[in-house]
Structure 1
Amino acid sequence: MSSASPRFVVVGANHRSASLGLRDQLFVDDSGVADFLVGLKARGLYEVLVLSTCDRVEVWAGHHDGDMATSLICEAYGARAGLSPAALAGQLYTHVGEAAVRHAFAVASAMDSLVIGEPHVAGQVKAAHRLARDAGTCGPELEAVLQAGFACAKRIRSETHIGEGPVSIAAAAVQLAGDLHGDLSHCSGLVLGAGDMGELVAESLMAAGLGRLSVTAPRASRAEALAHALNANVVAFENMREALAGADVVVASSGGRAVLVTSEVVTAALKKRRRKPIFLVDAGIPGDIEPAVNRIDGAFLYDLNDLEQVALEGRATREQAARSAWTILDDEVSLFLRGRAARVAVPAIVALRQRFEETREAVLAESHGDADAATRLLIHRLLHAPSETMKSVAAEGADWQHMEKTLRTLFRLD
């Protein structure tokens, strides 16, 4: 990408860079995306989208000045969270140019996720793309990166087995829930928190016929957004204990520092259920359910590691797939960047062809149909100005060697 062209920029916070508290402050639900994008546009970012999930909040933008775009995005984050730039420093990451493109491809391909290969991540990026288009902030630079990123994700899914393991984590949860309770259509479920992995497990349970589903989270807006996506009910977080007692399947996916479900809470729930068993999935990182719960009769607790043991034949297969996926991703990034760089030459090529065509028409008019005279005159006209320029450069002692090398490369004289 040349400096004259828009540069791709990503500024954000994810599960590795920032605390859950900050991510909650920066979180933008779907209903607020349009206003947030309009605010960024008012600051001077005309090509921009926001990707806001439990695990990450990122702004993707196309702008001619990477530093300026970064500053504008950080200002918007600060205004949203009510924090100073100093308070945000160290919890936000910034990628510009090639690094930003690689990051975007990695996100779209689910290579930058908590669990590598989860296919719903691409759906989240597509949803962010759709909201940006609706808000009128998806310009050509952003569109080009997105389409290339989606193509990269599709190639990785078709050429590697990267999606098989993580997808089967949710399938393993469904299978184990069915083994315990039988027909899931007679069961009720509860999702605690709004993490991406918990959402994936809940989606799989619903697809398998789970009868009823409720959602609760420490932050009400998160619970409402997830409940809307899953077509589920919302339960106030302060009523979590009562909801847990009525749930046959519990999926915890907050990933906060505090344990949401203790052994005391589960014991009380089982007592109310008259010892009817509960199947619990701890999809939080760090965990949301106290490990001691697994020692309680009637409570069947599985965390992500447990589900992986059920679902995967071995880590080696996924690691090999991940290595292959990264190789494909880097190939796609290089291909995209080469294509974008090549477009810089297009205006000059068009101008050169136009000049040649104008010269050809003039020579044909002057030669009166004499083909030999026309071709000789054409060669003379086309080479006159370049020849004079080359002589001048050589006579003035300028960088003739560089010009000669370029000339021989252009016309393949060697």
Structure 2
Amino acid sequence: MSLNKIRNTLKFFLPSSYQLKLSVTNLFTRSVFILLVYVSYFIILVQIPETMSYRLELALLLTSAFALILYLPLIERLARYMRTKFLSEYLTEDAESYRQAIKRFNFDALIKNVFPDMVKITGSQSGTMAVLTQNGTFAFHSYFRGRQKKLSPTKDILVKSSFQSFLLANRNGASVANTFSNENINNDFMELHANYIYPFIFREKLFGFIAVSNIPNSDASHSLSLLAGQSALTIHNHILSYHISENKKYQKEAEYAVRVQNLLETGTIPNILGWEIIPFKRTNRNLIEFFQVEDGSWFFVILNAGKSYQHIGIILSYILGVVYSQSRLKLLKGFSDIKTLIQSTFQKLDWKENYEMIIGKIGYSELYIIQEGKQFKIIRNSEEVVASMGWKNMISMDKGPIIIQQRGEPVLKFNFKELEVQ
């Protein structure tokens, strides 16, 4: 018993493996920097003739210039590389690397990058990570001495409700020593070949856990808590995005989307002097929004999502709501801003399907239109096509009204009547 106390005392005073690697990295990079400076100083000093005045000062000045302009940026890059290679880039002290790492902290990064980092932080040779899936079961990934793989579904370990309750009750991690009084939980630890387990908990729900072969010290446990919290949130968002796009449990939301669409279809056509704008019946695949930009000009967007998913009304309503809100904040100035905003919003929603759109500006007696997609057609007199894809088209209204069609079905009709001067 006294031997264990001595070991624990030594562990308390000695640096953790993570701190030790960080110190060695800093010592190495600084030593390389000093060595480069000294070598450069003597090389430059040899090249300067001894008869020259202020020979030493000139060598010092040139060496300082080399150190600041060339060596210092190289050493910073070397330090950043070593920290991300041998430590966790998600816990590095370098602000730029940390921002990039957090930006990439998605579900794939959790499995490929964060999981191995968490095992290394604890000083373990092996580890197992359980991740909650969309159907409520847990998928397992293993890591052993630098090799990582996903366990076969036939080898998935059953996470019993009693074990989940134990992890929820030990949200700050638990070692195998805490399970000796509970044989069932101890067997779960043995099945995972784990001496320490840290759960991923978000909103009092277990989204996964990591089981490692070594019991970490307090510093490593603190690092695990930071990564575990972010991991739980990442798994939660991954499951939520899957349900929004695929799961039939959201049929009720699809009905609400139709109601939202119906609300958008009424009261959105503005009264513009001289213009007559007539909307036609729409499907849940396309929506229309009119709005004013910073200089007061009227723009409109027709958005088509290509396929008729159950929740497409929510997605399109959200995108057009973003466009409308940006216009109200006077953040949109023209075609380029509107197009970029729509494209970036689709990307944020991880939209994988094709989509098409028309962006139009209403002038005094003409329309300016950008058409993206083959399903739309802008015609006059039932057959004359008056706009081309990919270009900014100026359509004069003095030759009669135009109709915007989508797959042969009319969507909007524009007509302009010259105002009479009294």
Larger relative helix fraction: 1
Computing the radius of gyration from Cα coordinates, the structure with the larger value is: 2
Give the TM-score category using the shorter length: under 0.3
Q: TM-score, length-normalised on structure 1?
A: 0.23
Q: TM-score, length-normalised on structure 2?
A: 0.23
